[in-house]
């Protein structure tokens, strides 16, 4: 009798835990439009700040070295194009994550329903199997969440680094020369290449992780 009660208590805890997680995912999905909007606004504010500094920097270089605006823009094009691509990647990443959250929430909710049905019928092995599948899916999704947050923070850090470097050049005032500008661009381009290589490695890892999630969800559906 005590063993049955203990088992029931464990089961209740598991169900309550998963229901709480589903509610948490639901709250995250509901907040998605606001979070996405705030993130895009933050990116846009930094972008505008960078554009203002660019204009000031171009004026200083024009006065100090007679650098033409066209030449300045051509030199900056690599950095700006890279930032535009990263901005789109970051926004798409966040949007894809929230869409995936919806699918995960639906899948876990369906499996939780089957989990409860198996409990009612006393199918101990099926209960264990569903428990393992749901737990695995949620664990993988938590990994995905951490990866998304890490990438968004990395992008924001890159934005701040570029603005910082531009401000440092601007602070040189009359002493600023084209060689200083070129040196800064060379360093930033080298950093971009290193980051791109690291992102490609992580992209492969995330792709593998997402495949694992899909396989586990398919396995859960197959074993209904």
Which pair of structure tokens corresponds to residue 170?
Answer: 């601007």
Confidence of residue 2 (pLDDT cuts 50, 70, 90): very low
Q: Are the C-beta atoms of 45 and 160 separated by less than 8 Å?
A: no
pLDDT in tens, 115-169: 777 777 777 777 777 777 777 777 777 777 788 888 888 888 888 899 999 999 9
Query: What is residue 182's predicted lDDT score, i.e. its pLDDT?
Result: 92
Q: Are the C-beta atoms of 103 and 214 separated by less than 8 Å?
A: no
CA atoms of 212 and 128, how far apart (whole Å): 19
Query: What is residue 165's predicted lDDT score, i.e. its pLDDT?
Result: 92
Mean pLDDT for the stretch of residues 103-107 = 74
Cα dihedral sign, 214-143-188-86:
positive
Mean pLDDT for the stretch of residues 4-30 = 65
Mean pLDDT for the stretch of residues 4-19 = 63
Query: What is residue 113's predicted lDDT score, i.e. its pLDDT?
Result: 75
How far CA 141 is from CA of 21, 125, 180, 211, in Å, comes to: 11, 25, 45, 12
Mean pLDDT for the stretch of residues 1-24 = 62
First to last CA, the chain: 30
Is the predicted pLDDT of residue 64 greater than 90, yes or no? yes
Is the predicted pLDDT of residue 216 greater than 70, yes or no? no
pTM comes to: 0.68
* Greatest CA separation for the chain: 90
Is the predicted pLDDT of residue 213 greater than 70, yes or no? no
């Amino acid at each position: 009798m005590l063993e049955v009660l203990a088992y029931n208590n464990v089961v209740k805890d598991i169900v309550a835990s998963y229901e709480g997680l589903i509610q948490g995912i639901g709250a995250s999905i509901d907040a998605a439009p606001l979070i996405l909007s705030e993130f895009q606004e933050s990116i846009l504010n930094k972008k505008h700040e960078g554009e203002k500094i660019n204009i000031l920097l171009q004026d200083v270089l024009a006065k100090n070295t007679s650098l033409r605006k066209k030449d300045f823009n051509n030199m900056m094009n690599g950095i700006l194009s890279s930032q535009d691509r990263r901005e789109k990647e970051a926004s798409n990443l966040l949007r894809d994550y929230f869409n995936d959250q919806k699918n995960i929430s639906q899948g876990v909710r369906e499996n939780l329903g089957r989990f409860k049905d198996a409990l009612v019928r006393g199918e101990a092995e099926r209960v264990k199997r569903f428990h393992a599948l749901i737990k695995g899916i949620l664990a993988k999704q938590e990994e995905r969440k951490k990866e998304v947050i890490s990438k968004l923070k990395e992008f924001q850090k890159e934005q701040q680094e570029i603005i910082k470097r531009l401000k440092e050049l601007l602070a040189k005032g009359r002493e600023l020369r084209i060689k200083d500008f070129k040196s800064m661009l060379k360093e930033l381009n080298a950093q971009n290449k290193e980051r791109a290589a690291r992102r490609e490695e992580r992209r492969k890892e995330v792709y593998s992780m997402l495949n694992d999630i899909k396989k586990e969800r398919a396995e859960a559906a197959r074993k209904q």
